A and B are shown apart, each in its own frame.
Chain A
Amino acid sequence: MEMPRPNPDILARKPQLLARLSGVLPSDALISDPAETRAYECDALTAYKCPPLAAVLPSSTQQVSDVLRICHEMGVPVVPRGSGTSLAGGALPTEDSVILGVARLNQVLETDYENRFIRVQSGRTNLSVTGAVEADGFFYAPDPSSQLACAIAGNVAMNSGGAHCLKYGVTTNNLMGVTMVLMDGTVIELGGAHLDAAGYDLLGLVCGSEGQLGVVIEATLRILHKPEGARPVLMGFDSNEVAGQCVSDIIKAGVLPVAIEFMDRPCIRACEAFARAGYPDCEALLIVEVEGSDAEIDEQLETIMEIAHSHNPVELRQSTSAEESARIWLGRKSAFGAMGQINDYMCLDGTIPVTELPYVLRRIGEMSGEFGLDVANVFHAGDGNMHPLILFDANKPGDLERCEALGAEILKLCVEVGGCLTGEHGVGIEKRDLMTDQYAPEDLEIQMAVKDVFDPKWLLNPAKVFPLAASEAHRIAAE
């Protein structure tokens, strides 16, 4: 993976930078010892590592603003960081950059049930947002699988999704406002406890901008009252086509499940071996979950079961208790762990139109054969967000490269059928060089023009999202 060459001039000015930073930060918030900066050398895309020049862990708005102002004045790149769970290399530093971690900004600032929002500092973890309101019957809907660890900061930057977004939407649909610090240190407020923007929807623009427009330090999030209950049904089919058709028929029938999860045979087998959830040995498995009161759940499941029956399932199991629900979800929830046991794996994240599901799965199977690497599929079927897991052996020379090449082919396939490179993980460095497969030069130019406006010197996370060749002119112009 190519990264811009570190600027020797910045490396040479490290002592001056540290001196200035130490003037605005408490000593335990400035990390520059190489033994310690190593902790920030990568995110969850561990194939790529590089320790930063320094890492800072501010604990106030003022400190964030001061750090950014200093880096801005000195021309030092800054890579914002939440919890470092990005799978796209979004938080990967360069040698000449400062990591700005928001982990110490983790307080709940305001909880307002009457107006149904919570305002938190952005370093707070996703799950602990729900944790703060759960006792009162509320929850924060977006639920990435990494929710125990990932921070709202990263969620906002990546516009993260979760298993329940078919009904509740992703981060951008649940984000009401942010406090953000621009690269020059200016603090701005976008949105808030009211709805919709007064001018342009800058909040919508910032969400998903991968830490390239500003450092988000606070977020106002929509909270919802928990549903009365939820229950899944598990269905097994002997072909991917039939399972895909079943998904489409359920959606067309007018029921809107909160989640429709799909697993293919390699994935089912791995999960079964790992978690023993009692999944049938079949080609395709669906978990469909609905919400409401008991009677409402029964009514929706009745419709769903009827549709499933018409597709001759090899297994159809409706949960009737919390215990059975947990069992149905057990295998799915351990999918990543199960894969990790077998092998190293790379998790893709393309989205396709739901109608293309059977074709895409067939093509992935063929490509997997061509590349000689196994691929297991697990994904959010209701919205077409696929997570093909490519299994490889990191210790085997050439395997990672082959895996990346196969990954690129699969993502190109997603684009080809009308989908996109990434549904929820973001571009980062991982999909940066594929952007030209999805977008024409002018499509990318205008996106980079947005960065020119927010960060004219291109100091915030500059080596991400856009192919380096495409962003070079902007980065050079900024110097």
Chain B
Amino acid sequence: MLIPQTEAELAAIVAEAEGPFHVQGGGTRPIGGPVAGMPLSTSGLSGIALYEPGALTLVAGAGTPLAEIEQVLAAEGQRLAFEPMDHRGLLGTEGVPTIGGVFAANVSGPRRIQAGAARDFLLGVRFVDGRGQVVRNGGRVMKNVTGYDLVKLMAGSYGTLGVLTEVALKVLPDTATAATLTLTGLDDGTAIRVMARALGSPFEVTGVAHRPDGPEGVPLTLLRLEGTERSVAYRAAEMARLLAAFGEVQIDHDTARTRQTWQGIRDVKPFHGVSGDVWRLSVKPSDAAGVVAGISSARALYDWAGGLIWVLVPEGTAAGDVRAALSGVGGHATLIRGGERDAAFHPLDPTIEALQCGLRQRFDPRGLFNFGLMGVAA
């Protein structure tokens, strides 16, 4: 395993490389096709270079442990608003999640529907491209349209375009209190309508999820409100009134319990240790229930008001069987655990595939980085 300690060292390694690399942060998110190559870890590029709470910005080495960043933010009453998921429980991996890995995989949690995705909070990047050159894009300010936005391109490219060495991100204030509203016994279709109603209100819901099989097999539809105590109390009452027609709305004002509940949803806890392949589907929310019904023997967990569906299917289920459920409705499906790893990423329209290959060839002409991971064969 190569563990360069500086960006310059990494650049030199890449410039002189004779074979491919398997680029990773903490190795906790082994998503995508199998990658051959020398393991190359960013964990040596660690440390917070700058944190200005009054400017809501933080700059850190790509290998900085996520936990370190979250701790430093918490000390100032701030947080990563996009609430990145911890994949370790779901994937059975060990290791230390890094901030670079979070952005490379564009990992966002339940708050994505209200606050935005990881990519929306990434202000700037430094990375080493496939020629061993250090490239900078974006910066550390919140508004920046100077040149092309390669920051967005790098987010979610799983290290296939370059090795991130440093990231600048926007952080936000944490909230004092959080509450969970629960409706029980709704079928998937009704739950989707309830969630749409909640999101279409002015009450700023920051989490909207549905568990068709809750603890005792009873479906749970969950909403999260965050803010000051008074504000949360007010909005919870208004929301309960708004949704009264769909059944009794239970309000849990316990902030600690709410955090735990949503961490469970964020990390897809219901599927931890349960055998089967796990898929992540991104769809138009109103299509969600129909899509799930179209996959045989599927268990689902809906987040993002239905826009994100975690689907558990029997081991070895063909990728085509899952993706068939999306035909005619749009969206995409990514295999996260088990199954045919070569088919992990959704097939693309040929023109878009060609654009991707073109980008790939320019950024990494020798195909050194995570070749095959996203199925982008250059």
Contacts and interface: CB of A to CB of B under 8 A. Distances in A.
B173 A256 contact: yes
Given A195-B307, A354-B55, A296 B120 contact: no
Contact of A186 (B151, B199, B351): B351
Interface string B41-73: 000000000001111110000000000000000
Interface string B226-267: 011011001100000000000000000000000000000000
B148 A450 contact: yes
Interface of B: 52-57, 76-77, 106, 108, 112-113, 116-117, 119-120, 129, 133-137, 139-153, 155-157, 161, 172-176, 193, 196, 199-202, 227-228, 230-231, 234-235, 282-286, 304, 307-308, 330-332, 334, 345-346, 348-349, 351-353, 355-356, 358-359, 362-363, 374, 376
A179 to B, nearest CB: 12
Contacts of B285: 114-115
Contacts of A208: 145, 148-149
Interface of A: 112-116, 137-138, 158-159, 161, 165-166, 169-170, 172-173, 182, 186, 188-190, 192-205, 207-209, 225-228, 247-249, 251-256, 292-293, 295-296, 299, 351-355, 380, 383-385, 418-427, 431, 435, 438-440, 442-444, 446-447, 449-454, 465
A205 B356 contact: no
B149 A172 contact: yes
14 contacts: A112-B286, A196-B108, A200-B153, A202-B356, A204-B151, A251-B55, A353-B55, A355-B54, A383-B141, A422-B145, A438-B139, A438-B147, A446-B363, A449-B362
B253 to A, nearest CB: 17
A453 B363 CA distance: 11
Contacts of B57: 353
B355 A225 contact: no
A225 B144 contact: no
A353 B156 CA distance: 26
A421 B346 contact: no
Contact of A198 (B142, B146, B345): B345
A196 B282 contact: yes
B349 A299 contact: no
A440 B137 CA distance: 10
Interface centre among B157, B228, B235, B374 (most CB of A within 10 A): B228
Given A296-B230, A452-B362, A424 B200 contact: no
A384 B356 CA distance: 34
B143 A199 contact: no
A442 B116 contact: no
Given A198-B346, A199-B346, A450 B150 contact: yes
A384 B170 CA distance: 13
Contacts of B150: 205, 446-447, 450
Given A251-B56, A424-B143, A453-B355, A197 B156 contact: yes
A118 to B, nearest CB: 13
Nearest to A138: B200
Given A209-B148, A296-B231, A204 B153 contact: yes
A251 B54 CA distance: 6
Contact of A427 (B117, B120, B146, B349): B146
A421 B286 contact: no
Contacts of A225: 200-202
Contacts, number: 253
A252 B231 CA distance: 19
A190 B356 CA distance: 12
Top 7 closest pairs, chain A to chain B, by CB: A204-B152, A248-B54, A453-B358, A423-B143, A198-B332, A254-B173, A193-B284
Contacts of A247: 54
Contacts of B199: 116
B119 A453 contact: no
A138 B146 CA distance: 31
Given A198-B346, A201-B119, A292-B231, A380 B137 contact: no
Contacts of B156: 196-197, 200-201
A115 B262 CA distance: 22
B47 to A, nearest CB: 18
Contacts of B136: 439-440, 443
Nearest to B160: A200
A112 to B, nearest CB: 8
A255 B175 CA distance: 9
Given A200-B356, A205-B152, A296-B230, A115 B346 contact: no
A120 to B, nearest CB: 17
B374 A204 contact: no
Nearest to A184: B351
Contact of A194 (B137, B161, B228, B307): B307
Given A172-B120, A227-B202, 6 more contacts: A115-B196, A189-B349, A200-B356, A208-B149, A293-B235, A439-B147
Contacts of B144: 351, 420, 422-423
A335 to B, nearest CB: 18
Given A204-B152, A205-B149, A252-B76, A199 B140 contact: no
Contact of A299 (B141, B230, B353): B230
